[in-house]
Amino acid sequence: MDRTRVIATAAAYPEQVITNDDLAKIVDTSDEWITQRTGIKERRISAGENTSVYVIDVAKKLLDRASVAAEDIDLIIVASVTADYGTPSLACMVQKEIGAVNAIAFDIVAACSGFMYALTTADKYIKSGTYRNAIVIGGETLSKIVDWTDRSTCVLFGDGAGGAYVEESKDAGLIREIIGSAGESYEILTEGYTNCANAFNDLQDYTDPKWYVYMNGREVFKFATKKVIKSLKELLEAEGLTGEDIKYFVPHQANIRIVEVIAKKLDIPFEKFYMNMERFGNTSSASIPIALNELNEKGLLERGDRIVLAGFGGGMTWGTVLIEW
């Protein structure tokens, strides 16, 4: 059976590093609180570049690393909750900048599960024979929708993008996925609300408070552990695998304590979970592809290795994907 194989990975992020101590200068927090409660030590914050800058950079690197011509790209999917525009999509901006004149391009909104949704959507197009290849990217500048006076959220997030070039393959590739949505819980994690009252009859210049990230951290924590544990269990069972058969789990980089709970509940060695949240914070849809690219760049993945990507986030959404490298 044809599979969708990851051929190349790439990442791009701001140069500016903001440490926990830097944040303690603007809100009532401390390095100790952030480190103990989240595992995050620093994050990359854009100095003014919008999301498209990082996403386009990733796309260019992917073409280079996969040695593919832009005109041969069939599909571009970008996952983001912080696109530059309502329209055009980031994917169409990528298409223009790399010259992928024969591709179709669109964005997906699934917050921190976005890369899982984008990757598995590309997989459907490829497995059906519609397209042969795709560029799939998750990218965010969360710094533009974070309330920098709210210590309960502003310490958590970072900016950046990561992605993969994937193509049809006869052997290795995506093996199984478990993707889910729970729209009934959408109110526990929101951002980017635009109020319709500010229209013809009520012209005012204001930003609705719900523009900024709002999160009921405890509820999201519970949701994340429950859904990831359940979907990982189901995924492994469906393939007749155990944690021992998986070389690396690449979880969404939101909170080290979430990963500790998952590892303990599933009796999987904590060391098998690849994490870089201490350096990047939570970059939403970019977190898993940035981590995956690090694994790849460090040469930690060999052909035939099984890895599992596990995202969860706003929507509420989740997605767990098993890949044979």
Per CB under 6 A, residues contacting ligand UT7 are 29, 33-34, 37-38, 112, 151-152, 155, 217-218, 220-221, 224, 254-255, 258, 282, 284, 313
- The SS3 call for residue 261 is helix
Asked if 196 is an active-site residue, the reply is no
Cα separation, 241 vs 260, in Å, equals 21
Cβ atoms of 283 and 142 closer than 8 Å: yes
Tell me which of 20, 50, 154, 252 is the catalytic residue: 252
Cα separation, 240 vs 262, in Å, equals 19
Cα separation, 226 vs 69, in Å, equals 42
In terms of CB distance, is 136 or 220 closer to ligand UT7?
220
Residue with the CB atom nearest ligand UT7 in the bound state: 217
Least separation in angstroms between residue 27's CB and ligand UT7 is 7
The partner residues of 173 in beta bridges, in order of sequence, read 324
In terms of CB distance, is 66 or 111 closer to ligand UT7?
111
Tell me which of 50, 112, 293, 296 is the catalytic residue: 112
Cβ atoms of 259 and 251 closer than 8 Å: yes
Asked if 216 is an active-site residue, the reply is no
- Read off the DSSP letter of residue 243: G
Asked if 252 is an active-site residue, the reply is yes
Least separation in angstroms between residue 34's CB and ligand UT7 is 6
Least separation in angstroms between residue 47's CB and ligand UT7 is 23
Length of the chain: 325
In terms of CB distance, is 173 or 311 closer to ligand UT7?
311
In terms of CB distance, is 153 or 293 closer to ligand UT7?
153
Tell me which of 20, 133, 255, 282 is the catalytic residue: 282
Which DSSP string corresponds to 176-240? Answer: EEEEEE-GGGGGGEE-----TTSSTT-------GGGS-EE-HHHHHHHHHHHHHHHHHHHHHHTT
Least separation in angstroms between residue 154's CB and ligand UT7 is 8
In terms of CB distance, is 16 or 30 closer to ligand UT7?
30
Active site residues: 112, 252, 282
